[in-house]
Amino acid sequence: MADSKQTKFFPGDTVEVRPLNEILATLDGNGTLDKLPFMPEMSALAGRQFRVTSRAFKTCVDDAEMRSIDNTVFLDEVRCDGKAHGGCDKACLIFWKEEWLRPVGAKSESLTPTASISEADLSKLATRDGKFFCQSSEIVNASKPLPFWEPSQYLLDLSYNRISITRWLKSLGIAVYNKVAHVTGRKSWRFIAGPGTYNGTRSDLNLQPGDVVRVKSLSEIQQTLDAEGKHNHLLFAPSMTEFCGSVMRVQKRVEKIILEATPRQREIKDTVLLEGAVCDGVCHRMCPRQSLLFWRECWLEKVNGATN
């Protein structure tokens, strides 16, 4: 499962986003390179410098299927603001093809366009025929299946993304456990089920960006979950248990999201993102995507006397 082209950038490297005209020259008529869209939200970042945080050689899809993707990196907290996609609030970490980046100080290149496409065309493609077109919606088309038994993915965690041995061993152990659990019909690692009797009462916290909250204890949160570990169809993921009892700040409310691997958008209620609360990938074969976790307001409580 090695990259098909020469690898250029690794974690810690500082890179510069190429000028927009150079990036447009790499795109096909659908505004994609290797079927990965260059989104309108990315245009404003042309010419800016960022640090590479990880090689995005693999990604999980909706916390389930694992996929491989070539010649792609993540940049330090460069997330999609959703403005060109109906105000999607997921704040996904953006995938960057290495062809869209260059070493700091490198000279501009004269590239022959693969298709005639403009910045305005990118905006039109983002919401065509009432459907949404973005990296999240196209992630399956832009990647290939990565089976559990493919050994190179685990070696690349160490060599590409420099995962510590401790985290690597923990993630590998969880992966093996979950595979055995799936085959034998058991629950996955740290699966948290509730009594299944929660009546779905809505929270009245009305949290806003900047509010300081405390994540409730695991036992309190468990009382809000059904037998599938969900609250009104939203899973309380294993990685979220690490934050129980923590005092954190609200980053933003989540009201609309584009469903992974689909062109559809859905409204969501009583849900927020918390600053720094991301999936670390340990439960998902060290997926480097660092997706922000969704928090129901009923899993949180305001901290008395907190100021924005």
Q: Which of 294, 298, 297, 295 lies closest to 90 in space, CA to CA?
A: 294
SS3 234: strand
Domain endpoint, select from 87, 119, 147: 147
In a domain, 171, yes or no: no
For residues 40 and 126, membership in a common domain is answered with: yes
Domain endpoint, select from 92, 122, 147: 147
- 51: which strand partners? 14
For residues 53 and 127, membership in a common domain is answered with: yes
In a domain, 95, yes or no: yes
Q: From CA 260, how far away is CA 243, in angstroms rounded? A: 24
Give pLDDT, residue 1: 47
In a domain, 198, yes or no: yes
SS3 49: strand
Give pLDDT, residue 96: 98
Q: From CA 151, how far away is CA 155, in angstroms rounded? A: 7
Question: Does this model's pTM top 0.85?
Answer: yes
For the chain, the straight-line distance linking the first and the last C-alpha, in angstroms and rounded, comes to 47
pLDDT tens string 64-85: 789 999 999 999 999 999 999 9
In a domain, 160, yes or no: no
Give pLDDT, residue 99: 96
Classify each residue of 58-85 as buried b or exposed e, where b means 16 or more C-beta atoms within 10 Å of its C-beta.
bbbbebeebbbbbbbbbbeebbbebebb
Mean pLDDT of the chain: 91
In a domain, 180, yes or no: no
In a domain, 172, yes or no: no
User: Backbone phi, then psi, for 174, in 5-degree steps?
Assistant: -65, -40
In a domain, 157, yes or no: no
Give pLDDT, residue 231: 93
Domain endpoint, select from 94, 122, 147: 147
For residues 142 and 213, membership in a common domain is answered with: no
For residues 138 and 202, membership in a common domain is answered with: no
For residues 142 and 206, membership in a common domain is answered with: no
Question: Are residues 270 and 143 in contact, defined by beta-carbon separation less than 8 angstroms?
Answer: no
pLDDT tens string 143-168: 999 999 999 999 999 999 999 999 99
Give pLDDT, residue 308: 43
For residues 198 and 137, membership in a common domain is answered with: no
| Number of domains into which the chain is organized | 2
Domain that holds residue 100: 14-147
For residues 20 and 140, membership in a common domain is answered with: yes
In a domain, 281, yes or no: yes
Q: Is 208 exposed, middle or buried (0-12, 13-18, 19+ CB in 10 A)?
A: exposed
Give pLDDT, residue 200: 58
Q: From CA 56, how far away is CA 77, in angstroms rounded? A: 13
Give pLDDT, residue 236: 96
Sign of CA dihedral 194, 261, 8, 155: positive
Give pLDDT, residue 4: 44
Which residues in the chain show pLDDT less than 50? Answer: 1-4, 307-308
For residues 46 and 132, membership in a common domain is answered with: yes
User: Backbone phi, then psi, for 120, in 5-degree steps?
Assistant: -65, -35
Cα 108 from chain centre: 31
